Every structure is written in structure tokens, then in C-alpha cells.
Structure 1
């Protein structure tokens, strides 16, 4: 019997030695029972209340390909501490006729009432342990929160934390905060504020942009209000939206204030009025939103509308980094002209191209990956390593355009390789006939569903000089021809 070994640890009290111990016990069990371990998977510092773990997901994908006959774990809690997730996994493996084995726990047939009950109790106790530990931890944190103490993470811009866990005003940053509030209260726009404060970097090393200003202007801490856990964002490790927390803590005058309450009220009144006006404004349609890439900084272009004093509006596309934080200097592109150009050329291209020949070229490129995918897997591992190093550098405050551009390129290539490896693992070659049908459907829907056709087929590159010297490509899974 060929088996996959899976190990996991989750808390700061465990280390990678926990993985080694689990793997050793699994190996000993398999040796004693004549089982060959053909694959090993391990998730480090990953919670058992959520199945979105890289190695666990990889295990499930390989199981679907029947790469092994059994999955061996040290105990049920290593697989999952959530009852529903555990039995969903068990059902998935049962449908694939893959046996699940635990070194420490009895796992029988889930269709057998006695075995099912035993297993249910075991995994239920694991979930009970998680809930109990979480409750104790939350109670302890809540006690500290009610005293207004800093509870970890990154302090807000404008503050530092002293040795007693208390907020202390950072003078230079506080002055920037006051400038932002005063200018906004006086009717200045986000763009004017950003031009005034310059390239100020926030706590995570990124240059402040329009999104940063929005959250900064809504933060009650700047008027001395301490709040904790306003919302429940996750339930048992899974995102649940913003659910109001009935046990939230809110203490006024607990933090040294940077902004006076009159300025705060003026700012909130203007923001609420602006929000209302935005809700009442008719939503503009941008055909190519998210499809234009700035080659100067790698950001996506976003759609915006400007209105002059006479009330005439102009739609245009603007580099996302230029709009948010003024760190890019690419020129804006007139939306009417660009959209007309793209649609006209796309129609011309689809009307004159040989669908069969193009589909065959694309299929040959996609299906032509190396049979064992060794080269692709090695390149993917190298890219993941480079991305991790780049992320560490950015977190340390090392951030420059060339790094962002390279990170963008690596992320795109990573996605391409993952798709390629997934397709190769599934042994599901791309069909030339289906590609031809795809192009024919796109041709038929171009006038009635223009935005969706463009979204699925078009990628636009705006050159760093900002001119409308554009490359428009028709792409299928990253492969395509240039117009």
C-alpha cells in the first residue's frame, strides 16, 4: 500500500521538531504494518480550524489524482480541529477509495454507526479544546483591553508604545496627522493633501495613498478613543465578514489625543456628505477596468471621471499607484478613445484570424510542457523563494520601483506555472475544438457582452511614457497573439 504522510503544528509552543516527531511516529507505524510512505506533506504554524493550508490542499489535489492509497496522520487533531471540516475530508477520501489512518486514534468505517460515533467524539473533543483555549485567551485579552493597553500588532501612525503598553504621541508623525485633518476639514482634496505631505511612509513602509488617508481620517484613536474588537471577522478560522461584536471595548479619553474634537466632527461631516453624494451619483461603466497594466510601476489602471467647471465630464484611465499615492508619473488615458481603439481592433482581429490555426498554436504551447514537469516545478520553487525574499525586504522598508516591478513579474509567472503544473497533473490537454468554439462565441457576443469578452481575451500594456502606444493581446491562459 502506498501512503501519504501528513503532519501539522499550529502554536508558538510547537516548532518544526513537532513535524519531525509526527513523521517519525508515522514512519514507525507504516514500517510495522507494511505500508510504504511515498509522499510527505507538512504545514508549519497553521491552524487546524481551517483547511486552507498549503500542504493540506496539495495533499487533497494529489489524492484526487490517486497518487497514493492511504493518508496517515499522527492523530485526528493534526488533520483538523473542526468537526465539519474533518468529516468533509473523510467523505472526500471515501469517495476516492483512499483510506485514512491515524497512529494514535481508531479510525474505522464512517458508515459504521459505532465507528462514526467514536470518531465524532474524538474530533469533537479537539474542537472543544480549541473553543476553550480561545475563550480563555479572549477573556485575558479583553481584561487588558478594558485598561486601554496596547494588545500587539502595529501601532497607529502618530503613536509609539512605551514599556507599559501605553500609547505615546510621536511628534513628527503627529504633525503629519494634524496637517491631514486640518486640510481635509478645510475642504482640500486627497490629491492636494498628498502633494502637501509628500511621500510619507506608513508603519508598514508603504507610501501613504488615498486609501491610507481614508482610514486615517476615520480612526477614533486620534481623538483619544480606545476601541478593541468591534467586529468578528472570522469564525473558527474562516472569514465571516464584519459581524458586530457585542463584547467590544470602547473607552473615551484613554489615549493621548492628536486631533481636537471640533476638527474631528468637521472631518466626519464632510466624509459622510461625500459618501452620500457618491451613493447618489450614477455609476460609470469602464470597459477595460483592471485590464491595463502600467509598465512603469506594474500597477493596474483604474477608471475615473473628471468634471470641469462647466459641468462637462471626461472618463479616463489612471495608473492605480498614481491615483492612490502619487508615486507613479504615467499619463492618464482617455477612456473613450482607448475603448473605441480596443473594440475596433479586437473586432478586426477576430474577423480576419484563422481560428483553427490560432487554436492549434495555443493548444500546442499549453500542452507542450515537459511531460514530468520537473523544469516547471523547479522554476516555481525558485520563484516562490524569490517572492518570499522580496516580501521580507519590503516589510523591512526596502521598497523601490524596480523591486515592485520584479515582484509583479514573478507573481504573474508564478500563476502561469501553477496553472501549467495543475493542467499537467490532471492530464487534461486543451482541446483545439473547444478553443475554436471559444473564439467563435466571443465573436458572436462582442456587441452584446463587450465587457466580458474584453475581460476574458484582452490585456493592455501602457508604456512608461504614458502615450497611447499600446500593445493589445488576445490571451487564453497566458498564451496569445498580438494585435
Structure 2
């Protein structure tokens, strides 16, 4: 008697506005489906409060891993759109599951085939597009009526209650007197000559609560909170609502297909929707004009040539000035380390937000930091375990390609044998006096197929057995030795830098007086995992380890090395 199919149940709901019980309900009906088919449920996976348009979901990625590890025979979901609402991601999932012989079955559609994937993905994409268009149309009508199109600016509070007809009030705002006083103070201080950085430091020192940011940000005032971007209308000093003018649709958001993150793009002025809301005025026009004049003067002083290109040009996107630009973070407050002079990096939180946010005034030389990171690469990537891992990866890739060639070769040989058998059958029938004119056409088609398959087999011989070249390890050492050279050579530096930066999520610097350069340096990301493997860490997740320990320690020449082996998308940490 054959064993029952092993089923993995997947459930997802989209936003925090939906009930968490939605996932439980989905799992319940999927379990009923599994019981009806006699399937054994081996695992339940869920993604909660996350859009189906993104593939960067821990549960969604788990489906790929489960199929690859061979722990299930069928993926069960309530409906196809629970798995994904993106055509590309759904097609990719189906393709990979089919490769591992894992079926997809939903309660709504039954067993999923290629046609259902194509049609379902198209319908889901159209649903998202139409939903976005309807939402935008509704928001535009609300704004045209003088109401808010969503979100809330600092200095205002959402009006709660019911109108005279008993309907819930939506889209109305009232001035928050306490926050409005802070707004007036910021404008007055800036008008008197104070910088945005000085104003932010003073507000933090007084313990003034900053604008709410939905759980994001540092929870303190920063110069960017005040100064913002004048073109996009962000920042306290650029919010026209403070002078009684509401501007909507100034910018739109598009999702990066690689990262899944939304990117803001400035819309042309003719697409903006502007309405007068005098009841929400906090700043008088004269003060607003003086602040705008000072901002314009500062921009002119910083750009005496007057170079200006308001159009977003992705091909002119600014590349990092230095190898590690934008990756270095202060371990004390989480702020970035930025250049404070020509040669040294320091905590921007301590400098832009004041001592109330961070007291770390230690600095580190840029070249010294880069050398420590690159030095760790050069030294640790030569470890015998990494060379062995490189050779093994090459062997697996070769065998996979050879397996595909062998499968194609076997299929062609089998088809040739079937064609020859049919030809022999026709000849036997003719010899027995059973000739019919239609046999001639069939014989010609079979002879043509035989010639085609014979030629194909001649062009694609049996794949050879893998014989690893004895100098393969030497080639690995040679390529690693060229790393520093590639990062310095102008022709290869952009590509090499991009690859290296793609392996590093962030670099944490921990100020400590007795450490080299006054800092300990920790790498976070895939590169940290690679370096941990070079040190033989048990805490690094490997293919032969199903549940690696979350934290492991080992001693190397530079002292304790901390390796954090997380799950899903958690980064790995490695100290240099």
C-alpha cells in the first residue's frame, strides 16, 4: 500500500486591517481538504499582514525550500491568490514546484495546472491594478471636496465622531495646539538663522516628541525631519498645509521588482491637485515666504553654477562615493556613519540629533575601515573549507547540467526506438498483404522522425563523467587574490563594488577604546555567513543542517567571533 501524500498548508492575509483569524480559517478549510483526500499534513506555513504582490515573504520562500528539501508532495491553499497576486512570482513558484514534482491544490480551483497559473496570475494582477485605480479615484474625489487624501501631518489630529446625519466623519483634520506651537517655533528659529540640525538637537534635548512615523525611523528629531526635500514637499519647512494649502498627488510610488520596496517618483506639476484649506493654517504667509527665501539662498550658495535637472533620471543615479558608503551603522543608536571630514567617519545621529540621541563621538578612518573589511576577505576566503565548498558547488552544478542532458538523450533514444518499432510494424503489415494507401504517408512521417532523432542523438552524445581538474582549487585562490585588484582597477571597480556591497547588509561599528582604530567592526549579511563558514562556525546554516543553533561562538586569531545564524531573512553577523 502506497503512503499518503505529504501536504504543506499555506495561508496568508494581506493587511493589519484584516483579522488574524483569517489565517486560522484558511488553515481549517485546507485541513478539511487534506482529510478528504487522505493526505498527511506535515507543516503549516503562514504570512500575516503582508501583500501577495511581494515575493519577499518568509512563508512564500518556505514553499520553495520545502519542495527543494523533499518534505512535501503537495502544497495546499484556500485559493491561488493566497499564494501570490503577481504573475511572475506565481509562474516561478509553479515552475520550481513542478521540477521537484510537488503539486499545488487549492480548495477553490482544485489541482493547479499551467493554464490556471497563467489565467489566475492575470486576474490577480488586473485585480490589484483596478483596485489601485478605484482607490486613487476615490481619494481624488475626497481631496477635491476639501478633505484629506490620507495620512496625517505633524501639527494636526484626525477628527473623530459623526456628522449630523449619523455618518462617521472621514478625511477631516483639526489643528493640534501643542504640535502647532512646535511647528511655529521651528519656522521662527529657522527664520532667525538657526540651522535645521541645531533646531533638531534642541528639540531632542528638551525631550520633545517627534512626528509619528508608523513604527519606522529613530524616534527622534533629525535635520531631515525639519529640512526634508523642497521639491517633494517633505519636511516640516516644506509642508504647504501649514499655510492653508493642501497639495495631493505630488508624487507617486512604484515598486522595485527586484527588492519589492516602493520608490517615490515626483509627478509633473500639472498632475498635482491643490485645494485651499484656510481653517488648517498654522503659519502666516510672510513667515513662510521668508523661510522659502532663506532655503533658496542656501541652495544657490551650494550650487553657484545653477545646474538643475528636475526630471528623475535613473541612469544618472548617484553611485556610492566610497566602497562602504551607506552601509556603516553606529551600534549605539543605529544611525549611519558618514564622512565628517576628508578622511574620517563619525555617527551622524550624534552630530545631527545631539547628545540626547547618541553620545558616540568616536571616529574611524575610512581607509582603515575598508582595509579591515577587505583584509578579512583576503585572509578568510582562503580557508580550506571554502575551497572545498567551491569545488563541491562546481560539482553539483555540473551534475545538474549533465542530468538534464542525460534526460534529453534518454528521451530521444526512447522516441527513436518507438519510431523504428512502428516502421517495422508497417513493413510487416505490407508483407502480409495488408497494404493501404494511407500507410505511405505514415511511413514517410516515421522515416522523417527517425532521421531527425538519429541526427539529434549524434549531435548530443552521452554526457561525460565528471573529472575535476586538479588545479580547480588553485583557480579559486587565483580569483580571490584578484579581488583587491578588481576593486581598485577603474574598469572593473563598479561591478566588483556592486557585487561586494550586495553581500553586505550593513557594517556595525562598536566604539571601544582598546579596539583597533577605536572600534570593533561587525559585518551583517551573506558575506558574514561566508566568513563564518571559513572559520568553521557551527552557527552558520548549511545544506546538511536542518535546524542550526541561533548563536555560536568560536575563537579565532583576533579574539571572539560572534556568528548569529538566523532563519528566514534574518542577517548573519561576523566580527572582524
TM-score (norm 1): 0.66
- Distance apart, 1:35 and its partner CA: 2.8
1 CA distance for matches of 2:86 and 2:521? 48
Higher radius of gyration, 1 or 2: 2
Equivalent residue, structure 1, for 2:311: none
Mapping of residues 68-87 of structure 1, within 5 Å: 68-87=72-91
TM-aligned CA distance change 1:243 to 1:38, over 3 Å: farther
1:259-302 CA-to-partner distances (Å, cap 9, x unmatched) read: 22233233334334544555679999556545655454343311
Aligned length in residues: 397
CA contact (8 A) 2:350 2:360 kept: yes
- Distance apart, 1:208 and its partner CA: 0.7
- Distance apart, 1:251 and its partner CA: 0.8
- Distance apart, 1:319 and its partner CA: 0.5
Computed over aligned residues only, the root mean square deviation of the Cα atoms, in angstroms, reads 4.5
2 CA distance for matches of 1:78 and 1:345? 46
Equivalent residue, structure 2, for 1:216: 236
Equivalent residue, structure 1, for 2:100: 96
Give ranges in structure 1 of 5+ residues lacking alignment: 111-115, 306-313, 365-430
1:35 aligns with 2:43: no
- Distance apart, 1:83 and its partner CA: 4.0
Mapping of residues 95-174 of structure 1, within 5 Å: 95-107=99-111, 109-110=113-114, 116=115, 120-150=118-148, 152-153=150-151, 155-163=152-160, 166-174=172-180
- Distance apart, 1:349 and its partner CA: 8.6
Equivalent residue, structure 1, for 2:541: none
Mapping of residues 351-370 of structure 1, within 5 Å: 359-360=383-384
Moved more, 2-11 or 204-213: 2-11
1:323-352 CA-to-partner distances (Å, cap 9, x unmatched) read: 33112222253x7xx24555777899999x
Does the residue aligned with 2:138 lie in a helix, a strand or coil? helix
1 CA distance for matches of 2:75 and 2:302? 54
Equivalent residue, structure 2, for 1:425: none
1:205-233 CA-to-partner distances (Å, cap 9, x unmatched) read: 82211111121112111111113333331
- Distance apart, 1:460 and its partner CA: 7.1
**Equivalent of 1:252 in 238, 263, 276:** 276
**Equivalent of 2:482 in 434, 437, 441:** 441
- Distance apart, 1:102 and its partner CA: 2.0
1:322 aligns with 2:371: no
| Higher normalized contact order (CA 8 Å, seq sep 6+, divided by chain length) | 1
**Equivalent of 2:333 in 285, 297, 313:** 297
Does the residue aligned with 1:52 lie in a helix, a strand or coil? coil
Does the residue aligned with 1:6 lie in a helix, a strand or coil? strand
2 CA distance for matches of 1:81 and 1:445? 41
**Equivalent of 1:185 in 166, 191, 211:** 191
TM-score (norm 2): 0.57
Equivalent residue, structure 2, for 1:404: none
- Distance apart, 1:74 and its partner CA: 1.9
**Equivalent of 1:59 in 63, 82, 87:** 63
CA contact (8 A) 2:33 2:107 kept: yes
2 CA distance for matches of 1:136 and 1:178? 37
TM-aligned CA distance change 1:433 to 1:211, over 3 Å: farther
TM-aligned CA distance change 1:243 to 1:103, over 3 Å: farther
Give ranges in structure 2 of 5+ residues lacking alignment: 161-168, 214-218, 228-234, 308-317, 389-471, 536-556, 559-575
1 CA distance for matches of 2:174 and 2:343? 45
CA contact (8 A) 2:204 2:353 kept: no
TM-aligned CA distance change 1:139 to 1:198, over 3 Å: same
Equivalent residue, structure 1, for 2:246: 226
